Amino acid sequence: MRVAVVGGAGYIGGELLRLLLCHPDVELVQATSDRQRGQPLHAVHPNLRHLTSLKFTAHDELGEADAVFLALPHGTAMHRIDELALRDWRIVDLSADFRLRDPKAFARHHGVEHRRPDLVERFVPGLPELGRERLRGARWISVPGCQATAAILALRPLAAAGLVAGDVLIDARTGSSGSGSSPAPAAHHAERSGVMRVYQPTGHRHEAEVAQACGVSTRMTVTAVEAVRGVQVVLHLRPARPLRQTDLWEVYRAAYADEPFVRLVSQRSGLYRHPEPKVLSGTNLCDVGFAVDDDGCRVVLIGALDNLGKGGAGNAVQCLNVAAGLDERAGLGFPGLHPI
């Protein structure tokens, strides 16, 4: 299967290139970037040196492929979708443009009206753990955001079981690569190094994604921490009835026993007894953990992943594998490193 990456010069684009170049069932045929046109891929992504002789081409020089990944800035895909729709491609969009079903919610969280709300329903939500059957054979796929993915995978089993009462409070921490590769004052080393910066205390756009996927009300706070890769979310909620730790194990084992990329991590002791994004760098894994107060009236859920892996490029490749009838694990077997 021939695949192309539109927007291959960013961090998500680079992660897509790394995974696709090592994928046993696909051929990477093109990577586009107007800014890097004519440059070899390794000029931007040095880890790809000697893996390929491909050079970046301009966006308007996109050739033929069987599937295309859109790793473009938010707001770009909806302006290009008419052009892309003319070709019989599988489209996997990693931006926020087609994630939300409600155009009013999109406008509220992104500050602009959606250009093509009539096409939103054509995009299948790109999270295999929630909708694998819908993904089979899908032509257009919208991959959720990194923090949303961690929160959804942590929350959905409990919400689906009807065990959540009231608002869910989500405290998210994210590394610097989640802000993308474009220079910005907040990403300057002197300003970013050593921080624990609460940059969105209320109203983060991923609130709507989590609420849409889980059917519960969410409130989210996001903090930038001194890490390059990684997302960790801690969710606080009141259960619909008092729960025990054994109840949580029962719910989460039933939900994820057969999932290849979700691991349950809730140990009584050890350095890594709760989900820790550090050991997930470069993987397509999401670790989910949980704990409950002694009286059973507060549940704490924890989700961790690599924002460029299961939170982005890895999940996108997993979706393509499912949609195209390939081995779902193909190209995604890297287990992570320790120590790192």
SS3 assignment, position 165? strand
Query: Strand ranges (DSSP E) for the chain?
Result: 2-6, 27-32, 67-70, 90-93, 124-125, 140-142, 164-174, 196-200, 218-225, 231-239, 262-264, 286-292, 299-305
User: Cα separation of 252 and 250, whole Å?
Assistant: 6
297 catalytic residue (yes or no): no
Cis before 277 (ω within 30): no
- Given 146, 214, 286, 319, which residue is catalytic? 146
Which positions are annotated as active-site residues?
146
